[in-house]
Structure 1
Amino acid sequence: MTTPNAHRPGVTIIPVHGKSPRIHDSAFIAPGCRIIGDVEIGADASIWYNCVLRADVSRIVIGQRSNIQDGSVVHCDPARPGDEEGSPCIIGDDVLVGHLAMVHGCIIEDRGFMGLGAIAMNKARIGSDAMLAAGAMLTEGKIMEPRSLWGGRPARFMRELNDAAIAGMRMGVAHYAENARHHGAAVNAAGLGAGEG
């Protein structure tokens, strides 16, 4: 069940322009997070400590079991003349977004990976089972094909990912989904009340 503007002490949830965050009851939202506007967060997703998701000018979607790790910022861009769709930020299912990432108006397909401190800009796309390396900057409109590894500033194709790398990313998703349950219980036990549901 997704609860509009659910009360989660320790988390700032703000409607803006008539749009309220919609957070699945099973999602873990850590204390210190700011969830603003037209944000949708799917089942068993996890948004970690001190993240900001600000959907004041377009929308943000976080898919099932995806995680946005500590200190990351997710934003979007509005429609403009010649760009009626604007740049919403759409993150698929089973996605890993590393600590301190800057995710702006881009698309991350199912099972994509964005490394620590990486930046993805408007209309860029991280393909399914693809990895944007730590510290990389994927510039506006760049498309990463599925199962590819890109790195550098600006990011460029480096190589195809092998099956072992793909399996490692899937293990990471499972780890974060499980760890979120433990953190939800710990937050509740600490009396902060910002855990699961």
Structure 2
Amino acid sequence: MDRGMNVADRFPWATIMPFAGKMPQIHDTAFVAPGARIIGDVTIGPEASVWYNCVLRGDIHRIVIGARSNVQDGSVFHVEGPRPDTDGQPSILGEDCVIGHMAVVHGATVHDGGFVGMGAVAMDGAVIGAGAMLGAGALLGPGKTIPPAEIWVGRPARFLRTQTPEQVAKIRFQTERYCRLAQAHLAELTAR
């Protein structure tokens, strides 16, 4: 990270603000689009991208976005804070993950290469395994786990089938494309 520049100054078109003394940490190679709101205990890794009008609110627990992962337009990441019966649930996104438009990840974990489809919801304590997919519009309830490389769909989400290695590779293609696209958007924004 560039210690000489305030992280909020790097993305003047977004809202990047501290909460309870914790300022978001955004890698120098990451991209944050206009209209995004990044608040509190949020870490965004190398070449990751957070797109237009997303909200990542790390006010009562932490949020981690792994390297080369993308959080697409209008998605929301929040967390479950500590309660008498639990220490709470952070939202953790591994490396090379795809979060489709308007998805909600709330106190859930998505392992490396995981995919959350457009409009899908992953709730407190849910886990999406490596290379697994939560289909568009699906609802993965609290504490549910999708094993690696499986596809789950529906409300509530249920097993559909296992992905082929070629399908898992398509998720990696999506992350690579979004890394390039993020740099193109950044170039357009900084050229103004």
TM-score, length-scaled by structure 1: 0.93
Distance 1:15 1:168 in 2: 36
The residue aligned with 1:41 is 44
| Larger RCO of the pair (alpha carbons < 8 Å, separation 6+) | 1
CA offsets, 1:122-179, max 9 Å, x none?
0000000000000000000000100000000000111110112111111111110111
The residue aligned with 2:186 is 184
The residue aligned with 1:117 is 119
Letter in 1 for 2:23: S
Distance 1:77 1:17 in 2: 16
The residue aligned with 1:156 is 158
Name the SS for the 1:18 alignment partner: coil
The residue aligned with 2:84 is 81
The residue aligned with 1:195 is none
- Same amino acid, percent of matched pairs: 52
Match of 1:129 among 119, 128, 131: 131
Unaligned runs of 5+ in 1: 192-197
Contact 1:5–1:15 (CA under 8 A) maintained in structure 2: no
Contact 1:44–1:66 (CA under 8 A) maintained in structure 2: yes
Runs of 4+ in 1 over 6 A off after TM superposition: none
Contact 1:72–1:101 (CA under 8 A) maintained in structure 2: yes
CA offsets, 1:76-124, max 9 Å, x none?
011111212x010010100000000011000000110000010000000
Match of 1:14 among 14, 17, 28: 17
Are 2:102 and 1:97 equivalent residues in the alignment?
no
TM-score, length-scaled by structure 2: 0.96
Contact 1:6–1:23 (CA under 8 A) maintained in structure 2: no
Unaligned runs of 5+ in 2: none
Letter in 1 for 2:136: A
Contact 1:91–1:109 (CA under 8 A) maintained in structure 2: yes
The residue aligned with 1:27 is 30
Are 2:48 and 1:51 equivalent residues in the alignment?
no
Tell me the CA shift for residue 188 of structure 1: 1.0
**RMSD of equivalent CA atoms:** 1.1
Name the SS for the 2:63 alignment partner: strand
Contact 2:48–2:67 (CA under 8 A) maintained in structure 1: yes
Tell me the CA shift for residue 2 of structure 1: 6.1
Number of corresponding residues: 189
Distance 1:19 1:62 in 2: 16
Contact 2:33–2:50 (CA under 8 A) maintained in structure 1: yes
Task: Give the stretch that moved more between structures: 119-128 or 167-176.
Answer: 167-176
